[in-house]
Every structure is written in C-alpha cells, then in structure tokens.
Amino acid sequence: MQNGMQLFSSTMRLLLRWLRLCFRRGHKRLPRCVREPWSYSRLLLKSLYFNSLTNSDVVMDALFEPVFWLVDHLTRWFGVVFVCLVVILTSSILIIAYFCLLPMVLDTYSTAWIIWHLCYGHWNLVMIVFHYYKATRTSPGHPPQIKCDIPAVSVCKKCIIPKPARTHHCSICNSCILKMDHHCPWLNNCVGHFNHRYFFSFCLFMTLGCIYCSISGRNLFLDAYRAIERFKSLDVEPQGVPVTGVGWLIGLLPPGSAPGQSYYQTPAPPFTFRDKMFHKSIIYMWVLTSTVALALGGLTLWHAMLISRGETSIERHINSKETRRMQKKGKVFRNPFNYGRLNNWKVFFGVEKRSHWLTRVLLPSSHPPYGDGITWDFTLHRKDLMAV
C-alpha cells in the first residue's frame, strides 16, 4: 500500500512538471481569465496527494464533491414538494372516504360495524395527522454551538464543533444532528433524537391505516373493476340494432327505407358520469393504499428491528463494520446503547409506567424523549425500566 502511494505521488509530480514545461512559454501571453483557473486547478491537483494519509476514498470524495453538492441542494428544495405530495394524496383518500364510502356505509352496514369503522377510522386519522405534523415541525436536536464541557467523541470537520456520541453531520441540513437516523425528504426534516418517535409512529399508523383501507375496500375494488369493464363494453357497442330487413340488416339501406321493417333503439346506458367517477375513485383508493401499505410497511418493519437492537440507520452500518473488524481479532462487539429489546422500546417511547403504553403510545402525546441526546448513561435507570 505504501509503495502504491509513493508511485501515485511520483506520477503526479512528473505530470505537473511536464505540464509546467509545456505551458511556461505561453504562460505570460495568456489572459487573466485563463491563468487563474489554471492556477486553481494546479492547487487542487496538488491537494490530492498533500500527505501520506491520502487514499482512494479521499480522491473519490474530492472528485464527486460537485455531485454531492447538487444532490444535497436538490433534496433540500424538493423536500417541500414531497411534503405537499403527502398532504395531497392523504387528502384525496379522505375525500373519497367521506363523500363516497361513508354514505354507503351508513346505508348498508349494521350499527355495530358503523360504530367500529367510525371509531377506528377517526382514531387512526388523528394519530397519522398528529405524528406527521410533529415529525415535520419538531427539531431533531443539535449539539451546543458554544464552548462547554459536554462529553464528545470527535469534532465535526464541517461544523468545527464537538460531536457527542451518536451525533452525525447532515449535509442537507448543513448541521450536526443528535442521534441522527437519516434525512427524510417526505418530512423535509432530519430524523433525530427529538422527533424519532414521531417519525416511527407516523410510519406505523399510516401503514395500519393503509392496511385497513385495503382490506375493508377489497370487495368494493373488485365490484368497481367489474363495473369499469362493463362501461368499456357498453362504449363500443352500437346504439341501434335492426331486427328485420335484409338490406338494412347488413347496412346497405338506411333505417326506414324498406317496407315493413322495424328498428329497435337501445336506451341510454344506466351508468352516469357520477357512477363512473365513483368506481374509478374506489379503484384509485385501493391501489394507492395497497401500494403504500407494502412500501411503508417494509420501512416500518426495518425501523422496528433497528429500535429493538438500540440502533439507528447510520449506526447499523457502523456497527456492522465494527463487528467484522472485531471478529477478525477474535473479539465480540457489543452495542453500548442496547439495553435489551423491551427496554429499548421503553426508552424509545418514553414509557416509565404501565399506563404510558396507552397515554404515550396509543394516544397522541408530545412528551419529550428520554435523555437530552448528549449523554447516554442509562445504567442507573435500567432496573427501574425492567420493573415496568
């Protein structure tokens, strides 16, 4: 590896010397607008091998820096578009549910089923709206910007401030995030220490709501699909059907031209424009909710697995690499933030007593998470958590 780096450094030096010799004669005659970019390019090229710590990762990061900058800025601006898209799609499902399905449910279902659908549907809706609003509007948490005695594990090379444990820099938000999980474009916000619970609860209840709509609307979807197929068949059928008269029957003579013939005019289709829109709305609702249930359900299960292990998405990648590194040395890696599956869920949801499973998990709650996101020493509270 060391020989390879020395060969790379020597090659770069020879390339610069050759370019300097070829360019020296006409350098003075070049205009300033050309000399400055040339000097800046030489400086960039020299910076790629300025010390022995340079490797292929550093070179690739430097080359792809414009691409990273473009992606970060596009994601930042398109976050507003994604949030509007979530609001529009959710509102469209609500409009279909209230104006198409609710009148039918009130007319055809029994009283017990009506009460079940109204209670569960509105509870699920309140949980989705509450957690999505809190996830988008709650700050994920940032480390202190002023100099203070906080436990730090490193210094951010972008913010030039101490980074506590589990803190990472978000290039889209351009700041360090406490217990950063990822930057979610659908929230236009980072998922961190103070809004991680809101994000997961939104994913969970949105998945449950989509599964509820998909299962309860399956028969309606099948009926609507068959009705749409009937609409298509009626659109291609002729409106007039002759019954007597050979020449008129084969289309050689117009109606009424042959004596004694009769003509049967089919009535207008019994399906109105309102009926077509109703069935198309049912199909749209079922396809959208089923698709979201599959996609978002997989994401929710992934995050549930991470929470059970006391990890974030970023820590999952870091811990996997650290586990492989320790295995090569014959050692076992242990996640210091894993307090056991049940305790991990209690810390995540902020459950301190049995009633909190109802008031803080199954009902809207804006209580703060456990801890401040800077220190993670929960050893004193571990016995209390097990007793819940």
pLDDT in tens, 274-309: 888 899 999 999 999 999 999 999 999 999 999 999
Give me the pLDDT at residue 261, please. Answer: 47
Residues marked active site are found at 184
Task: State whether 289 and 365 are in the same domain.
Answer: yes
Examine residue 49 and state whether it is found in any structural domain, yes or no. Answer: no
Give me the pLDDT at residue 387, please. Answer: 41
Give me the pLDDT at residue 148, please. Answer: 72
Cα–Cα distance, 337 to 166 (Å, whole number): 10
Q: Quote the pTM value.
A: 0.74
Tell me: pLDDT of 20 over 60.
yes
Task: State whether 292 and 320 are in the same domain.
Answer: yes
Examine residue 116 and state whether it is found in any structural domain, yes or no. Answer: yes
**At 232, is the pLDDT very low, low, confident or very high (cuts 50, 70, 90)?**
confident
Give me the pLDDT at residue 174, please. Answer: 86
Q: Which residue has the higher pLDDT, 372 or 380?
A: 372
Examine residue 277 and state whether it is found in any structural domain, yes or no. Answer: no
Task: State whether 119 and 179 are in the same domain.
Answer: yes
In the chain, % of residues over pLDDT 90 = 46
Examine residue 183 and state whether it is found in any structural domain, yes or no. Answer: yes
Task: State whether 185 and 246 are in the same domain.
Answer: no
Tell me: pLDDT of 241 over 70.
no
Task: State whether 260 and 211 are in the same domain.
Answer: no
Task: State whether 72 and 200 are in the same domain.
Answer: yes
Examine residue 167 and state whether it is found in any structural domain, yes or no. Answer: yes
Task: State whether 204 and 231 are in the same domain.
Answer: no
Task: State whether 195 and 103 are in the same domain.
Answer: yes
Domain that holds residue 243: 220-271
Closest CA to 360 of 199, 201, 208, 206: 201
SS3 letters across the chain: CHHHHHHHHHHHHHHHHHHHHHHHCCCCCCCHHHHHHHHHHHHHHHHCCCCCCCCHHHHHHHHCHHHHHHHHHHHHHHHHHHHHHHHHHHHHHHHHHHHHHHHHHHHHCCHHHHHHHHHHHHHHHHHHHHHHHHHHHCCCCCCCCCCCCCCCCEECCCCCCEECCCCEEECCCCEEECCCCEEECCCCEEECCCCHHHHHHHHHHHHHHHHHHHHHCHHHHHHHHHHHHHHHHHHHCCCEEECCCHHHHCCCCCCCCCCCCCEEECCCCCCCHHHHHHHHHHHHHHHHHHHHHHHHHHHHHHHHHHHHCCCCHHHHHHHHHHHHHHHHCCCCCCCCCCCCHHHHHHHHHCCCCCCHHHHHHCCCCCCCCCCCCCCCCCHHHHHHHHHC
Give me the pLDDT at residue 150, please. Answer: 78
Give phi and psi for 372, each to the nearest 5: -105, 0
Contact status, residue 296 vs residue 206, Cβ threshold 8 Å: yes
Examine residue 25 and state whether it is found in any structural domain, yes or no. Answer: no
Give me the pLDDT at residue 51, please. Answer: 60
**At 203, is the pLDDT very low, low, confident or very high (cuts 50, 70, 90)?**
very high
Contact status, residue 222 vs residue 287, Cβ threshold 8 Å: no
Of these ranges, 86-90, 247-251, 349-353, the one predicted with the greatest mean pLDDT is 86-90
Examine residue 338 and state whether it is found in any structural domain, yes or no. Answer: yes
- Count CB atoms within 10 A of the CB of residue 207: 21
Give me the pLDDT at residue 235, please. Answer: 62
Task: State whether 258 and 138 are in the same domain.
Answer: no
Give me the pLDDT at residue 212, please. Answer: 95
Contact status, residue 371 vs residue 378, Cβ threshold 8 Å: yes
Give me the pLDDT at residue 7, please. Answer: 66
Task: State whether 354 and 303 are in the same domain.
Answer: yes
Give me the pLDDT at residue 133, please. Answer: 97
Question: Is 125 exposed, middle or buried (CB count within 10 Å of its CB: 0-12, 13-18, 19+)?
Answer: middle
Give me the pLDDT at residue 358, please. Answer: 94
Residue 239 corresponds to which tokens in the numbers above? 């409106």
**At 54, is the pLDDT very low, low, confident or very high (cuts 50, 70, 90)?**
low
Residue 135 corresponds to which tokens in the numbers above? 């996830």
Domain count, the chain: 2
What does the pLDDT look like over 127-186, one tens digit per residue? 999 999 999 999 999 998 877 777 888 888 888 888 899 999 998 888 999 999 999 999
Give me the pLDDT at residue 266, please. Answer: 53
Task: State whether 316 and 264 are in the same domain.
Answer: no
Give me the pLDDT at residue 386, please. Answer: 38
Task: State whether 333 and 186 are in the same domain.
Answer: yes
What does the pLDDT look like over 83-97, one tens digit per residue? 999 999 999 999 999
Examine residue 124 and state whether it is found in any structural domain, yes or no. Answer: yes
Tell me: pLDDT of 205 over 80.
yes
Contact status, residue 163 vs residue 176, Cβ threshold 8 Å: yes
Task: Examine the fold and report which residue of 246, 271, 296 is the final residue of a domain before the chain moves on.
Answer: 271
Q: Which residue has the higher pLDDT, 66 or 317?
A: 317
Give phi and psi for 3, each to the nearest 5: -65, -40
User: What residue has token string 């913010």?
Assistant: 159
Cα–Cα distance, 290 to 293 (Å, whole number): 5
Tell me: pLDDT of 371 over 70.
yes
Task: Examine the fold and report which residue of 271, 304, 339 is the final residue of a domain before the chain moves on.
Answer: 271
Give me the pLDDT at residue 116, please. Answer: 93
Q: Which residue has the higher pLDDT, 365 or 11?
A: 365
Query: What rounded mean pLDDT belongs to the chain?
Result: 81
Closest CA to 293 of 181, 213, 197: 213
